[in-house]
Structure 1
Amino acid sequence: MPPTHHRPSLVAVAHGSRDPRALSTVLALLERVRELRPGLDVRLGHIELNEPLLTETLTGLNGAPAVLVPLLLSRGYHVKHDLPQAAAAAPGGEHIRIARPLGPHPLLVEALCSRLAEAGWHEEDGTSRSAGVVLASAGSRDPESAEDTRRMAQLLGERLGGVPVVAAYASALAPTVPDAVRALTSRGRHRIAVASYFAAPGLFATRSAAAAPWIAADPLGTHPALARLLLHRYEEARTRPYAVRRHELSAA
């Protein structure tokens, strides 16, 4: 493996949250990333609400190369617009690449299944005619974001043995988590789990969990698969010959 000091910095971009657990979770996740890749410069920047803000982090790089890895689970406005704009405005912006959002990806399925198991999901639930899962996510008006979330629901259902998994949203889109629970109940599914498709704790994750009629999994948080996925997205973007432009992000 080449020496990491020759590599661009990994700047993890979190949305930001008023819930103090979100920041502590992201910081712990980045410690996992550093353990997996000793010597790699790993930094954090927030889109809003928490410090350091992304603009401050990029300024602190003093024009050095970097890869922005969004701690976001699907395509949407932040990935397509906010990150390219921040990169373009930063010193040495021509040396900044932007990675794809984390999802959809099999490593996220691994993390979701692990969190469901921790909450009480058993392998035999995947073959039960009474079980179902709601994949709760933040939601976005961007149609590609919803497409990514539905794809994750499909991948999760396949991994769980074919149990129905319904994508639901805490904002912007339908169905809501309670609506998705009712839809599954109408199909005879009464053991309904909520899988928390959130990178960290926060208001949306808490509300979604409260709507679970059976079990609710924790957010992805510091799961080892998430740390591996951050590095995977970093390497994908690092090896591209040119910085990612907005039209490329839209087509990714």
Structure 2
Amino acid sequence: MFDVQAGAHASPMPVPAPLIAVAHGSRDPRSARAVAAAVDGIRAARPDLDIRLCFLDLSAPSVDQAIDAIAAEGHSSAVVVPLLLGSAFHARVDLPALLAAGRRRHPGLDLVQADVLGDDPRLVSAVRDRIAQTGTALGDPEVGVVLAAVGSSSEAANELTMRIGPRLLAGTAWAGVEVCFATTGPGLPQAVSALRARGARSIVIAPWFLAPGLLTDRIGRSAEDCAPQSRHADVIGAHPLLAEVALDRYAAGVGRLAAARVELSA
């Protein structure tokens, strides 16, 4: 039987560390709305978690504001999950600097930066789902897909993005997948030309973006010129697989928090 006295004195369950989801930010309000919807999906998957959304730039609240709010509410730790598809300057320089400043402001607050979402296979599957939602059959050999990404000043980062193309093509009968970039080459016209040379008669443009914004609009305008009959898949957005990946990054961050505490107590 339940021991009322023992139950009354049982230790309360520990409160999970909050998850601070950090997005890029944009001047385009559609971007913040799409990211907020994606974070709502993470909350729905883990209603027990305190999940905060903040932005690196151009949108509010800021990372500093999120950290200060967490500290003001008495939390002793938090896991920061970058909602970023690449490990470039923002993930390697900007965000660590913001977290270091947060630790200086709040010495009792443990902040762990989790890995970026990156090119996780589940996000590649999410893009494939978005393509299918346009009415594109996975078994159609006349389909050519352009995977449109931001692009980076780092050739190594762009090369990693280029490798997503064959992974997106796997399991389909499409004529091919070509990767293009909004801010560097190759651009959309080159990708479309390459697909047509491989026999593609139907072009689908799939964004390797979490949210719409000025760059996805730029890609759309380019498509009006070089592929006016193309179909356009949605951004990854609030796809359920994004929530899975973000929560896995959070779980790994919690593990690092626990390991650091054990090391300090040893």
Q: Which amino acid aligns with 1:206?
A: D
Q: How far apart are residue 138 of structure 1 and its match? A: 0.8
Question: Is the aligned partner of 1:155 residue 2:170?
Answer: no
Aligned partners of 1:104 and 1:151 also within 8 Å: no
From 20, 24, 36, the counterpart of 2:45: 36
- Cross-structure match for 1:54: 63
Q: Which amino acid aligns with 2:211?
A: A
Aligned partners of 2:149 and 2:181 also within 8 Å: yes
CA RMSD, 1 decimal = 2.1
Q: How far apart are residue 217 of structure 1 and its match? A: 0.5
Question: Is the aligned partner of 1:224 residue 2:240?
Answer: yes
Question: Is the aligned partner of 1:68 residue 2:89?
Answer: no
What is the aligned-residue identity percentage? 38
From 41, 45, 51, the counterpart of 2:54: 45
**1:1-252 alignment, distance < 5 Å:** 6-62=15-71, 64-90=76-102, 91-92=106-107, 95-125=110-140, 128=141, 130-161=142-173, 163-171=175-183, 173-212=184-223, 213=227, 214-240=230-256, 241-242=259-260
Rg comparison, structure with higher value: 2
- Cross-structure match for 2:4: none
CA distance in 2, matches of 1:94, 1:147: 37
Q: How far apart are residue 180 of structure 1 and its match? A: 1.3
The TM-score with structure 2 as length reference comes to 0.82
Unaligned runs of 5+ in 2: 1-11, 262-266
Q: How far apart are residue 102 of structure 1 and its match? A: 1.0
Q: How far apart are residue 161 of structure 1 and its match? A: 4.2
Aligned partners of 1:70 and 1:79 also within 8 Å: yes
Higher mean alpha-carbon deviation, 85-94 vs 104-113, is at: 85-94
Higher mean alpha-carbon deviation, 197-206 vs 56-65, is at: 56-65
Number of aligned positions between the proteins: 237
Change (3 A) 1:22 1:37: same
Unaligned runs of 5+ in 1: 244-252
CA distance in 2, matches of 1:58, 1:159: 43
Q: Which amino acid aligns with 2:242?
A: L
Q: Which amino acid aligns with 2:145?
A: V
Change (3 A) 1:195 1:77: same
